[in-house]
Amino acid sequence: MSTERKILARKGFGYALIGLAVTSSLVACTSAARTDAGGGPGDRPVVLAYQNQISTLDPIRADYAQTNFVDQALYDTLVTYDADNEIVGQLASEFAPSPDARSIQMTLRAATFHDGAPVTAEDVRYTLDRTAALGQGIAGQMTGYRGATVTGPQSLTIELTEPNSLFLGALSKIYILNSALVKANEGTDRGQAYLAGHDAGSGPYFLAGPGGADTYTLTRFDDYWAGDEGRPVSLVYRRIDESATQSAELKAGNIDVSFGLTNADAAALDGFSGVTVQSQPVNLQANIFFNVMNGPTANKAVRQAIQMAYDYTGGLATIRGGNGSIATGPLPGQFSCRPEMPAYGQDLEQAKKLLSDAGMSDLTLTMKFQPVFKEQEREATLLQSNLAQIGVTLDLEPIAYADYLSALKSPDSIPQMMLATDFAQYPDPGVMLVKTYKSDQVGTNKSGYSNPTVDALLGRAAETSDAGARCDLYKQAQEDIRNDAVAVNMYTLGQTTAHSNRVTGVGPAVVGSGVWVPAIRVA
């Protein structure tokens, strides 16, 4: 299978944090090859539903699923992942990391931006420099970027300040910008205002004109380097926050793709004529993170007792609709490089014994959760009931996600317990392990966890370009993390998608989560 065909066959990008404000003045760049919509049934736009506001289309915020959901169709990255979690070229026809993991040589394929300009190594250098300089959003994936040296119109070398075997995979999240177009509209904010509502990409679709509130229209780019006339002529993105409304709109034939359905709505929709509902596991895991540095949860026995108290089977079946699998450790089940470890299970008697042996009685704990997610509210209540069975009182406190992120800045303010889902921006085990469990990752280390052995294992993994050796190091780190009872790893979750039968190719992302839009075709 060719690199191009692998990319077209793979699933796709994204997941979400939050959006803030909608940009309504979307203006398309001129295209060298715009498609005449024609009048056949295949020319009717494919309508995709999304949830929550889109604050910007600037690729710097590709860490927001709402932004990424649109940008994945407007832009290309240098590399991406195929369905087997192997890195393959996208704009890069060739790529070669150095043995010491300090640099990457890149050669670009022939591709054009939507205004007809060729994609060059200078565009790549500009994009990487801009991302690093802004230092926000997806820039968090570019740890150790020193700079890029352009060695030819289609070639460059990316240089790092220190060994970082994760950097190549991180390039699957960096969308390449038309540098001349952005420079001409750079203003005083490196083009952030311009890119909030304009397209500077080379992807399979271009922004087709001003968008109304919460609605975006994209048109197929027929000069795309991996062009395919089977792609829809146009896409329309509609914001529909309520799961029940998405379900009703699917039944009415007003939308074609939904991945925001609750388990209950998906089950009710399953079997409806003209609609396909499917669920597939993704790199997303539900967890309860402890503050391992302060308070009662600094006691490993307390953490282990809570792990043993939770009703994993009941939670997965009744709250998540059986849409997933019980966790075995810190990484979701879809990741490679996971050691063989047993699934977690409930054992109330052993939980009581652990607390008794540790001299912990009349224990009262506090757990925060995000009430906007109804499943979390139910899981919090279930754990509260489970802990009451072993003599522990659990107080529940709602928290907004932004406030939770602020609390992670210091071990002193990390919540005693926090119910949260965890996912990786791209499918390398080191992404989650480093960000979540390495002691120097302030702001993403959700437990304040610090284990010198784990730090050393993850540090050695970053320094090697040998995939097999790196995998062995990741496995050792996971075993230590599980032994330290850093979190209640509940279950790897599945993603439910529903689509009208007029489209095919709807499936979950390999990079991040969500739906991979460029694979969608009209049946």
- The amino acid occupying position 209 is G
Backbone angles phi, psi at 395, to 5 degrees: -90, 135
- Between 17-21, 144-148, 367-371, 395-399, the lowest mean confidence (pLDDT) is in 17-21
Residue 373 pLDDT class (50, 70, 90 cuts): confident
Give the span between the Cα atoms of 287 and 82, in whole angstroms. 27
At 168, which helix (H) or strand (E)? helix 167-170
Check residue 212 and give its pLDDT: 57
Q: Give the residue extent of every domain in the chain.
A: 41-52+202-273+500-522, 75-192, 280-493
For the stretch 11-23, what's the b/e string if a residue is b when 16 or more beta carbons lie within 10 angstroms of its beta carbon?
A: bbbbbbeebeebb
Nearest residue to 237 (alpha-carbon basis) of 257, 260, 267, 266? 257
Residue 478: how many other CB atoms lie within 10 Å = 25
Contact 498, 453 (CB under 8 A): no
Check residue 37 and give its pLDDT: 40
- CA dihedral angle for residue 334, residue 335, residue 337, residue 338, rounded to 10 degrees: -60
Check residue 425 and give its pLDDT: 81
Is 31 a residue whose pLDDT tops 90? Answer: no
Tens digits of per-residue pLDDT, 80-120?
A: 998 888 899 999 999 999 999 999 999 999 999 999 999 99
Tens digits of per-residue pLDDT, 384-441?
A: 999 999 999 999 999 988 899 889 989 899 999 999 988 888 888 998 999 899 999 8
Strands (E), 291-391: 324-326, 363-369
Tokens of 390: 């072993």
For the chain, give the mean pLDDT: 89
DSSP 28: P
Give the span between the Cα atoms of 502 and 257, in whole angstroms. 10
Question: Taking residues 371-376, what's their average pLDDT?
Answer: 86
DSSP labels, 190-204: TTHHHHTTB----SS
Instruction: Label residue 284 exposed, middle or buried (CB < 10 Å: 0-12, 13-18, 19+).
Output: buried
Question: Taking residues 145-167, what's their average pLDDT?
Answer: 96
Dmax of the chain from CA atoms? 75
Give the span between the Cα atoms of 203 and 201, in whole angstroms. 6
Write a three-state SS string for 107-163. Answer: EECCCECCCCCECCHHHHHHHHHHHHHHCCHHHHHCCCEEEEEEEECCEEEEEECCC
Q: Out of 3.20.20.70, 3.10.105.10, 3.40.50.300, 3.60.15.10, which CATH number does the structure's domain 280-493 have?
A: 3.10.105.10
Check residue 66 and give its pLDDT: 85
DSSP 473: H
Residue 42 pLDDT class (50, 70, 90 cuts): low
Give the span between the Cα atoms of 281 and 324, in whole angstroms. 6
Check residue 137 and give its pLDDT: 87
Is 208 a residue whose pLDDT tops 70? Answer: yes
- Superfamily of the domain at 41-52+202-273+500-522: Periplasmic binding protein-like II (3.40.190.10)
Question: Taking residues 470-494, what's their average pLDDT?
Answer: 96
Instruction: Label residue 118 exposed, middle or buried (CB < 10 Å: 0-12, 13-18, 19+).
Output: middle
Check residue 98 and give its pLDDT: 94
Pairing of strands 275-290, 417-423: antiparallel
Question: Taking residues 42-57, what's their average pLDDT?
Answer: 88
Domain 75-192 coded CATH 3.30.300.10: no
Check residue 40 and give its pLDDT: 52
Task: Indicate if the alpha-carbon torsion angle 369, 373, 379, 385 is positive or negative.
Answer: positive
Check residue 7 and give its pLDDT: 35
Check residue 14 and give its pLDDT: 33
**What percentage of the chain exceeds 70 in pLDDT?**
91
Is 18 a residue whose pLDDT tops 70? Answer: no
At 9, which helix (H) or strand (E)? helix 3-9
Pairing of strands 215-220, 205-207: antiparallel
